[in-house]
Structure 1
Amino acid sequence: MKHRQRILWIAAAAATATVLAGCGSGSDDNAGQAAPAASGGAALAVVATTPEVADFVRNIGGSDVAVTQIIKPNVDPHDYEPTPADIKAIGEAKIVVKNGVGLEEWLDRTIESAGFKGAVVDSSQGVTLREGGHEEGEEHAEEEGEEHAGEEHDPHIWHNPQNVKIMVANIEKGLAAADPSRAATFAKNLTAYAAQIDKLDADNEAAYAGLPPAERKLVTNHDAFGYYVDRYKLEFVGSVIPSLDTSAELSAKQLSDLVAKIKATGAKAIFTESSLPPKSAEAIAQQAGVKVIGGEDALYGDSLGAPGTPEGTYLGAERHNTEVIVSALAG
């Protein structure tokens, strides 16, 4: 039913987008107009789905791309509904870049509604994917049957910087194919940005090197940090929302089990996320007798920070996450 409602909404939005296009309407964010590029000629019009992917495109494309970012900061990407302006922007773009791994369930229908004929770049191509979540794999096997177990993959691939190097290489190839005259510039930008990603990875490893393995226990709002946990050898204790997406809710038994597990493992805190309300985390933390890390210290699980802030970039958001986690667990 939910999927059918989304299809009907996209169809209605597409009709509205046609009217908007005829009226020349559109915000600065979603107008989809290609501004002049520094190298001469019009900038390549690119639609990027998520804040992370949009940041990657800006770093690789520089002033030679005009990026329309669909999902704004602190908006949940798991249950996004496209707007008429989104459809209009996609219809006018030369290339669409997505995270992939099923994160943008709405995108295929939106592209169809927009009449988009350009290239779609799946930035996840070549990334080794995690199957399911830390908690939900066994539950899915029980509820859905063994034949469905392990079918879902974790889409939060950007939380491992080495995955991001693959993602930005895919983006560079897509931009170069769409605009060969600027391929050398895109390649140069990729080299520079990849070096920054490597530095982020090395800094994260150095930060955790000073934290004893027994202290590296992570409890979060939802299971968004699997690739991060694996990369930096943390122990994932559990999540308030027992799922890779944000639509699930803890049952009474799961809630009591999580509280018991927090107490048994000696986990020190529950980390809330910037795009999710903290109330459930606060209630569980009170029962478990641990602190809640939130507010300005909330982690960036599905989103980035506000534009113009350090956390508004991928590199800044990931540095923030590591600094907050290490500080809280070491305290």
Structure 2
Amino acid sequence: MHHPKPRAVRLAAAVIALASVTACGSTSAADSGASDKGGKLKVVATTTQVADFVRVIGGDRVVVTQLVKSNASPHEYEPTPDVIQAIGQAQLLVKNGVGLEDDWLGKTVQTSGFRGQTVDTSADVKLRQGEGEETGKPVDDPHIWHNPENANIMCAAVEKALAGADPAHKSGYEQRFTEYAAKLDTLDKDIERQINSLPEDGRKLVTNHDAFGYYVDRYHLTFVGSVIPDFSDQAELSGSQLDSLVKKIKDEKVKAVFGESSLPPKTAKTIADEAGVKVVAGGGSLYGDSLGPEGSAGDTYLKSEEFNTKTIVGALK
């Protein structure tokens, strides 16, 4: 559940710490991480996915400060003084959008004194809706990147913003986007091929939280349910909901429950045990809300989606 009052207190503490850093004239991580040596664009990217897109399309023309770390939840984030300082120095702020960062980004940006351009990569994406766990009203699903076609749209927004901010190097941004768009198309076709290798009645997914709706829609899987019944990863299942999910898994003859790298696997393991099916957890978990750390099987967007697909297909065969 969200706790706005403690978050405000923590943000205030970060502001005080930032003031101290500035007053002392110290060199912080933000100073080096948002450097504009050689006239490079200073870009802050909120999530692991959009940071990856900016690095790919920006190439050596950008210096990227990534806010959400690998294997961490973008739904919950605590700013540090270095982060606030980096945002204040940036020319572009690139976000996922669809409310994914709303709980923490607005106040953080306001505190930083940021005066650059904010890029909402979701602006041209066709959104899917679900029912909010707390309100029961329709809510837009923020996990747009799990469809490579949407990733292409997000990257187009990044390319446009970078070219607009640095028109002298527009052709480089365009070329890198074109090359990456071709890789996204190849990824899309490969995922479709792999999913289509499964029997239709075996394409059933149970995940740690409701993060794979766009993937399910794009590749025609059946979403049976999730351990956390919400687009956010902060909600909790009641006892009766847990029992209901276990029953659905048995009734639908689901073969596996998939954990996620940014969430603890305990409840997923419990549900899988009660339903008598395998659980994919630990190091083999899906990359749901976050990419993996450098050197992992999911440290880029392309690698994470390939890893997820191979994991899903391998467990459901």
* Fold conserved between structures, TM > 0.5: yes
Hey, what does 1:183 align to over in structure 2? 170
C-alpha distance after superposition, 1:92-111 (max 9, x if no partner): 11111000111112111111
Distance 2:109 2:144 in 1: 23
Hey, what does 1:58 align to over in structure 2? 55
C-alpha distance after superposition, 1:237-262 (max 9, x if no partner): 11011111111111011011000000
- Secondary structure at the counterpart of residue 248 of structure 1: coil
Query: Structure 1 counterpart of 2:15, which letter?
Result: A
Q: Number of aligned pairs?
A: 314
Distance 1:198 1:5 in 2: 43
Contact 1:30/1:68 (8 A) holds in 2: no
Q: Mapping of 1:105-254 within 5 angstroms?
A: 105=102, 106-132=104-130, 136-137=131-132, 144=135, 149-150=137-138, 152-254=139-241
Distance 1:180 1:75 in 2: 34
Distance 2:162 2:5 in 1: 34
Hey, what does 2:274 align to over in structure 1? 287
* TM-score after normalising by structure 2: 0.95
Contact 2:34/2:64 (8 A) holds in 1: no
Contact 2:269/2:281 (8 A) holds in 1: no
Distance 1:24 1:127 in 2: 42
- 1:165 Cα deviation after fit: 0.5
Q: Mapping of 1:263-278 within 5 angstroms?
A: 263-278=250-265
- Secondary structure at the counterpart of residue 104 of structure 1: coil
Distance 1:62 1:277 in 2: 34
Contact 1:18/1:88 (8 A) holds in 2: no
Worse overlay, 8-17 or 294-303: 8-17
Contact 1:30/1:86 (8 A) holds in 2: no
- 1:10 Cα deviation after fit: 1.8
Structure 1: runs of 5 or more not aligned? none
- 1:183 Cα deviation after fit: 1.2
- 1:308 Cα deviation after fit: 3.3
- 1:170 Cα deviation after fit: 0.4
Contact 2:187/2:306 (8 A) holds in 1: yes
Q: Spell out structure 1 runs of 4+ moving beyond 6 A.
A: none
Distance 2:91 2:22 in 1: 17
- 1:227 Cα deviation after fit: 0.3
- 1:35 Cα deviation after fit: 5.0
Hey, what does 1:17 align to over in structure 2? 18
- Secondary structure at the counterpart of residue 311 of structure 1: coil
Contact 2:45/2:94 (8 A) holds in 1: yes
Distance 1:187 1:2 in 2: 42
Distance 1:208 1:202 in 2: 10
* TM-score after normalising by structure 1: 0.91
Distance 1:177 1:103 in 2: 25
Hey, what does 1:67 align to over in structure 2? 64
* Shift in alpha-carbon separation, 1:30–1:74, aligned structure 2, 3 A: farther
